[in-house]
Structure 1
Amino acid sequence: MARILVVDDEIGIRELLSEILYDEGHTVELAENAAQARAARLRARPDLVLLDIWMPDTDGVSLLKEWASQGLLDMPVLMMSGHATIDTAVEATRIGAIDFLEKPITLQKLLKAVAAGLARPVVPGIQQAAARPAAERRPDSPGMPPVAAEPVSTVAQQDPSHLGSIALDQPLRDARDAFERIYFEYHLVRENHSMTRVSEKTGLERTHLYRKLKQLGIDASRRKNNNN
């Protein structure tokens, strides 16, 4: 599960994306403008941001540039728009956005882009450096951090192929499902299959909790009877 920030001035878009992502098990924070997005970013770095381009106060591309210049673009950002031009999409990608979603966004395209974004490692400083002019990226520029000659990998040279019982060489969605099964089964046993307490511990409403357990193939009622 990931923490995802959705930034869009249209309440309908925010609510729709929030519902879809919440059903996928993610924690979702909403912002209707750049000011709220800045505050959310400063409170805690999200694992991924869905950022609308056209907003009334500060547009998404300007906010993306701002985060890049301040060294805050250390999370994957997916740009969204129903009216952006190719040039705008290219500019956003050059600054550091990892993808561009054209509205209306289909469910399949959204989930695919989010999964790809969460699976993509982000090296702090690399995207921000690319967004600045070459003269500003000199190591001796006042106030500017030096740029490494070669990107430093965030992945260890020799990664194990398993995390516990979870194989890491399978698709992200399958690995996430495997983790979530272990996670929810742990809480079910710990809370003696009390759905109320499991709901409180996991932060999921009961309706979403039942839906998630069904999606993962966990029969909570059957398991409870077997343990009695």
Structure 2
Amino acid sequence: MANILVVDDELGIRDLLSEILNDEGHSVDVAENATQARLARNESGYDLVLLDIWMPDTDGVSLLKEWSMTGLLTMPVIMMSGHATIDTAVEATRIGAFSFLEKPITMQKLLKAVEQGLQRNVPAPAAAAPVAAPGKVVPTFTPTGYSAPVVASVAIAAAAADAAPNAHQGFDLDRPLREARDGFEKAYFEFHLAREGGSMTRVAEKTGLERTHLYRKLRQLGVDLTRNKKN
């Protein structure tokens, strides 16, 4: 069990992350802004911090820099944002952030990032970001921490490089990123539901999601839960 601090100004996100991490057996404290996060950090030694970048008082990158300069960055910090640019994420990793998660955060990516962060007691200084040749994309984060624009660029570049007529796997890559991702996730879950005869238990095992979170995700994506039920 680890002591984890979740810092986010959105109540729904704080509650969701706390619920998931508590289910995994961790002890979770929450803070809705940098002021509360400072107080919590001064009073407790955390094993890991999930820190939102955009907050109303002090942004997460500034708070991360403050902790780094005052010797308080003694735990892995995973940055979170739904609006950050690649430059912002790179800056955070240079300051000392362990990795970066783009919102909305899936449970699998969250738990993977937390697991990897907890395996690293003290974050080592981040290496300088590699310089990319013109027109090339260089991933600069851990496997769980690639920002969505980087992932999208790599995926599109790979599709463009593949001359096969079905290289895009039937997905419309000309849509906004979140719509394209939702389309992929819906097809992914529908595939597993069909293969498992509509068994939510087996689909949960295959996808690594708890049944409660799986139901929530399927409803969010508009997946028909009755279509693949065995008669």
TM range (shorter): 0.5 to 0.7
Q: Contact between 2:52 and 2:79, CA under 8 Å: does it hold in 1? A: yes
Rg bigger for which structure?
1
Q: Contact between 1:73 and 1:127, CA under 8 Å: does it hold in 2? A: no
Question: Who is 1:122 aligned against?
Answer: 122
Q: Please give the per-residue CA displacement for 1:131-184, whole angstroms capped at 9, x wherever unaligned.
A: xxxxxxxxxxxxxxxxxxxxxxxxxxxxxxxxxxxxxxxxxxxxxxxxxxxxxx
Q: Contact between 2:50 and 2:78, CA under 8 Å: does it hold in 1? A: yes
Question: Who is 2:28 aligned against?
Answer: 28
Cα distance in structure 2, aligned partners of 1:21 and 1:121 = 18
Cα distance in structure 2, aligned partners of 1:6 and 1:121 = 18
What residue identity is the alignment partner of 2:12? G
**2:82 paired with 1:82:** yes
Cα distance in structure 1, aligned partners of 2:20 and 2:119 = 19
Helix, strand or coil: the match of 1:4? Answer: strand
Q: How many residues align?
A: 128
Cα displacement (A) at 1:120: 1.1
Q: Structure 1 residues 19 and 100 mapped into 2: Cα distance closer, same or farther (>3 Å)?
A: same
Question: Who is 1:7 aligned against?
Answer: 7
Question: Who is 1:95 aligned against?
Answer: 95
Question: Who is 2:206 aligned against?
Answer: none
Cα distance in structure 2, aligned partners of 1:90 and 1:57 = 22
Question: Who is 1:46 aligned against?
Answer: 46
Cα distance in structure 2, aligned partners of 1:46 and 1:85 = 27
Cα displacement (A) at 1:121: 2.8
- TM-score normalized by structure 1? 0.54
Q: Please give the per-residue CA displacement for 1:70-129, whole angstroms capped at 9, x wherever unaligned.
A: 000010000000000000000000000010000000000000000000001316xx649x
Identity among equivalent positions (%) equals 76
Q: Contact between 2:47 and 2:121, CA under 8 Å: does it hold in 1? A: no
Helix, strand or coil: the match of 1:6? Answer: strand
Cα distance in structure 2, aligned partners of 1:47 and 1:127 = 17
Cα distance in structure 2, aligned partners of 1:71 and 1:84 = 25
Cα distance in structure 2, aligned partners of 1:119 and 1:27 = 17
Cα distance in structure 2, aligned partners of 1:102 and 1:111 = 14
Alignment of 1:56-75 (within 5 A): 56-75=56-75
What residue identity is the alignment partner of 1:91? E
* Structure 1 gap ranges (5+): 131-228
Cα distance in structure 1, aligned partners of 2:6 and 2:122 = 19
Cα distance in structure 1, aligned partners of 2:8 and 2:122 = 23
Q: Contact between 2:6 and 2:51, CA under 8 Å: does it hold in 1? A: yes
Helix, strand or coil: the match of 1:50? Answer: strand
What residue identity is the alignment partner of 1:107? M
* Structure 2 gap ranges (5+): 128-231
Alignment of 1:138-157 (within 5 A): none
